[in-house]
Amino acid sequence: INAEYGGELLYRNAYMVLCILGLVVHNFFYSILMLDIIIREETLLNVIRSVTRNGKSILLTTILALILVYLFSVVGYLFLRDDFVMEVDPSPPGTMHLSSFMSALSVEASPDAADPSTLSQMVGEGLESCAAFSEEEQAALAADCEKLWDDVKCACLGGSFTQQESAPAPVEEEEASDEPVNVRMCDTLFLCIITTLNQGVRNGGGIGDVLRRPNITELLFFPRIIYDLLFFFVVIIIVLNLIFGVIIDTFADLRSEKQEKDEILRNTCFICSLERGAFDNKTVSFEEHFRMEHNLWHYLYFIVLIKVKDPTEFTGPESYVYEMVKNKKLDWFPRMRAMSLCSDEAENDQNEVKDLKMTMDRTNKEVASLTKQLQELQDQIQHIQVKERADMRNLIGDDPAKKAEAADTPVRRNNVAAIDGSVRV
């Protein structure tokens, strides 16, 4: 939390510094404040995080790309120096060239010349007055000025030291000066590295798109093809796509995390962690539960209340919550339970008890009916048995031969035994 507050404070201070710079230095600093939209919009912030989260991987891959560019630059400097010839546009009149600037810096000022600091203030700006100088000093200043700029005449006009373009060239020369100029871009290793890095990485086809197109009859024609193809496949396709792939994958992960967070916030209660499905077919919907029962702001207001209230005036629940908040415990939160669900569960229990009682009553009635039917069946069986015994006794009578014949079978044996028993009784 302290780190988050520190970053927020640093951001606000930078914001204030930019406002002061825009007010004091230049209005350009006001335009930088438009980048505040990145902080306010999480989607744009994820774009920045997609680069910074895996910054180490991107940095190492970039170092690998620079090493490969350096190797290709060394090969080009050693073997393909003559192929690094590029067309450049001619410089406009009055453009200061690097060679002229370096040569002017190397020339020591003569005793009659003015102070170089005075020259730097006067040349090009025309703000400082030159009327106080003598004609010899003005001529020396004009000579030094012409060493710094090509095709420019410097003179003191109207009390101010200004630049005047030289006499216009003929039309034929002006047309000739507009034609592109071929410049060797690999005469030094440093220049070769800069050219390979600038032109090779920015072109879709690699360094081969900007180099001289060789003739098939040249000795280095096939090595040049290998050089161009290797640069294209290794640097453009593999290394650059590795960097882009890391950035795109990180952005996709951040987007998935944001969607998961939004899904949890939409379908899960922040207080009790119950999901939306727990309130299906209940008396209270999830929206009502989230807005009324477990409102996040109500809990925050309650925490603020126990912080500002006198501890001697606490009630029992307030004292309990105060101790929990003081010890940074969350046991007082209703985890995975809600009042509406508890009441619904009690009603469901009562309904289940009623259903069970009705079921038991129906079962008892059915058992009583079955018991009555079984008793009637037993009475009928006894009646039939008594009738059969009486018929058998009348049929056999007192004849011993018939008794022996009836005793041959198990059924008859039983009947006879029963008859004898009844007779003896």
Between CA 390 and CA 191 the distance in angstroms is 136
d(CA 13, CA 19): 10
List the one residue out of 57, 44, 60 whose CA is nearest residue 254.
44
Q: Which helix (H) or strand (E) holds 421?
A: helix 410-424
Whether the CB-CB separation of 201 and 93 falls below 8 Å is answered with: no
Measure the CA–CA gap between 243 and 251, rounded to whole angstroms.
13
What was the pLDDT predicted at 181? 79
CB 272 within 8 A of CB 342: no
Specify the pLDDT at position 343: 63
d(CA 65, CA 239): 6
Report the distance separating Cα 83 and Cα 224, nearest Å: 9
β strands within 120-176, DSSP E: 152-157, 160-165
Q: What global pTM score does this model have?
A: 0.54
What integer pLDDT is reported at residue 2 of this predicted model? Answer: 54
Name the residue with tokens 């925490």. 303
Task: Give the helix/strand (H/E) hosting 130.
Answer: none
Measured CA to CA, the distance from residue 376 to residue 388 in angstroms comes to: 18
Task: Give dist(CA 127, CA 195) in Å, integer.
Answer: 39
Which residues, 6 or more positions from 75, have their beta carbon under 8 angstroms from its beta carbon?
Answer: 227
**What are 296's two structure tokens?**
């996040």
Cα torsion 216, 220, 224, 225 to 10°: value is 40
Give, for all 425 residues of the chain, the pLDDT tens digit. Answer: 455 567 788 888 999 999 999 999 999 999 999 988 988 888 888 888 888 888 888 999 999 999 999 999 999 999 998 899 888 887 777 665 555 555 555 544 444 444 444 444 444 444 344 555 566 666 666 666 555 554 445 555 444 445 444 444 444 444 445 677 788 889 899 999 999 999 999 888 889 888 988 888 889 899 999 999 999 999 999 999 999 998 999 888 888 888 888 888 888 888 888 888 888 877 788 888 888 888 888 899 999 999 899 888 888 889 999 999 888 888 888 888 887 777 655 556 666 777 788 888 888 888 988 988 888 888 888 888 888 877 777 776 666 665 555 555 554 455 544 444 443 43
Dihedral, 397, 398, 404, 405 alpha carbons, nearest 10: -30
What pLDDT score does 382 carry?
Answer: 85
Give CA–CA dist 290/271, Å, rounded.
9
Task: Of 180, 161, 156, 154, give the one whose Cα is nearest residue 94.
Answer: 154
- CA-to-CA distance for 180 and 89, rounded, in angstroms? 5
Q: Quote the pLDDT of residue 424.
A: 45
